[in-house]
Amino acid sequence: MKKIDKIINFMRALEEVCIVKRDLLLFDGSEENDAMHIFKLSFLTMLIAPYLKTPVDYTKMLELALVHDIAEGKTGDYTAANQLTHPELKKEKIKREATAIKELKKLLPSPLNKKIYALYQEYEKKETVEAKIVSVLDKLEANLQANQYRDGDVRYWKLCENGAKYYKIASQKKTLVKEIDEPIITDLENAIIKLSLTNMQKCGIKKP
């Protein structure tokens, strides 16, 4: 198969990512999908990068943001709330996504296939500073998005599957943020937690 045919086939596979629904709602009440999340995470990475005190490979961070959820086009989304409630789902997620990324790797010509596969593995292992930062921003972006519906009406969280867990997720500090020790990311986390708590109070929901 020609290189261009493989690239077109891969682009078709990426369309599957665009229809994977997430629990979170946009400001107008429409459902968020994986492609929207990837778009916003990529921008958040760009907005945070100039203020990092640790030297990083900025291009790699953007690439990690782009590839981090592409396997979900074949597996669907495993929400954080469900994984907290059912720990066995995390093992299932890892296993199914490992198979999915190998399928996606086969679609691309060399060296693109090896590059995207390597980026995905780097993100999953979270051993490099770039992967750790993007992983943290991934969680923070989701927490921020969760607060956007109708100017902070977070009552809808409990309507999601195991959604009551979101109140705990949104109000807790993340261990990886402390490990990274980047003031701009710490400030971002604090601001999002403050927003979450304010919206919970506004909606009559007690801090978990």
Over residues 119-166, the pLDDT tens digits come to: 999 999 999 999 999 999 999 999 999 999 999 999 999 988 878 889
23 — phi, psi (to 5°)? Answer: -65, -30
Contact 199, 152 (CB under 8 A): yes
Q: How far apart are CA 48 and CA 62, in angstroms?
A: 11
CA-wise closest residue to 138 among 124, 152, 158: 124
Mean per-residue pLDDT, 35-45? 98
CB 11 within 8 A of CB 27: no
Q: What is the pTM of this model?
A: 0.94
d(CA 34, CA 16): 9
| Other CB atoms within 10 Å distance of the CB of residue 81 | 20
Structure confidence at residue 78 (pLDDT) = 78
